[in-house]
Amino acid sequence: MLKGIGRVLIDEQTLMRRIDEMGEQITRDYQGKDLVLVGILKGSVLFLADLVKRIKLPLVIDFMAVSSYGSSTHSSGVVRILKDLDEEIEGKDVLIVEDIIDTGLTLNYLTELLLSRNPRSLKICCCLDKPSRRKVPVKVDYVGFSIPDEFVVGYGLDYAEKYRNLPYICILDPDEVE
Ligand SMILES: O=P(O)(O)OC[C@H]1O[C@H](OP(=O)(O)OP(=O)(O)O)[C@H](O)[C@@H]1O
Ligand SMILES: Nc1nc2[nH]cnc2c(=O)[nH]1
């Protein structure tokens, strides 16, 4: 375990147990469908990699990279597309995979954008949800863990681009990092 970051909020075993359940549920829900998982870079990559191994269906993986104007704490809700999908999603069953939902502004924008491309269905799956921070309503279909309003790192989530590789979720202690 890396020292000097903060307290562990969700350990690796707890993460994996919940992702087992989510994979089983998604496998049941998407039988016979044309599933495209859309990972939002960069935070979702660890979660997506573990989740797809547990979805026992043929599926396509695609990615988008977005950046909000302003920081995530002062998000304006305007999102710039840095990398768009490689695949067409018209008529497909699209599942957006996110690491965390905070204000909801990113997903609010992305769902509008992807819906305009006429998928057969569009749902959202996130590892972590901070419902107390919501500025716009977002319908989240699969939630790993609801967490309090704390700044967390690990399992894809960064602080200044670091700590994404931690296999667990930690509450960052600002006094402990430079
Ligand atoms: O609900 P919101 O307030 O819109 O915040 C959630 C977004 O913020 C994080 O991304 P970030 O911009 O930190 O990029 P990263 O995934 O590359 O770290 C996260 O991955 C979501 O995309
Ligand atoms: N790393 C990180 N990014 C976020 N974006 C929104 N909330 C968070 C958080 O708690 N941690």
The pair phi, psi for residue 15, each rounded to 5°, is -60, -50
Q: How many domains does the chain have?
A: 1
By residue range, what is the domain housing residue 87? 6-68+77-172
Is 141 tagged catalytic? no
pTM flag (> 0.80): yes
pLDDT tens, 129-158? Answer: 999 999 999 999 999 999 999 999 999 999
Give the ranges where the chain is alpha helix by DSSP (H): 12-29, 45-52, 105-115
Amino acid identity, position 90: E
169 pLDDT more than 60: yes
| Helices 12-29/45-52 angle, 10° precision | 60
Site to probe by mutation for ligand 1, drawn from 106, 153, 164 as the one with most ligand atoms within 8 Å of Cβ, is 106
CATH of the domain at 111: 3.40.50.2020
**In ligand 2, which atom is closest to the CA atom of 158?**
1
Q: Residue 33 falls within a domain, yes or no? A: yes
Measure the CA–CA gap between 166 and 19, rounded to whole angstroms.
16
pLDDT tens, 11-57? Answer: 999 999 999 999 999 999 999 999 999 999 999 999 999 999 999 99
Angle at 135 between CA 134 and CA 137, to 5 degrees: 70
Q: Which of 50, 93, 99, 102 is catalytic?
A: 102
What is the residue with the minimal CA distance to atom 20 of ligand 1?
Answer: 43
Q: Residue 1 falls within a domain, yes or no? A: no
ipTM score of the complex?
0.96
Ligand 1 interacting residues, C-beta cut-off 6 A: 40-43, 68, 72, 75, 98-106, 158
Question: Residue for token digits 């147990």?
Answer: 17
Q: Residue 114 falls within a domain, yes or no? A: yes
Measure the CA–CA gap between 104 and 89, rounded to whole angstroms.
22
Q: Residue 177 falls within a domain, yes or no? A: no
Site to probe by mutation for ligand 2, drawn from 44, 128, 157, 170 as the one with most ligand atoms within 8 Å of Cβ, is 157
Cβ atoms 176, 151 nearer than 8 A: no
Ligand having the closest approach to the CA of 83? 1
Measure the CA–CA gap between 49 and 1, rounded to whole angstroms.
21
What are the tokens at 170?
């930690």
Measure the CA–CA gap between 34 and 57, rounded to whole angstroms.
9
What are the tokens at 9?
């909020």
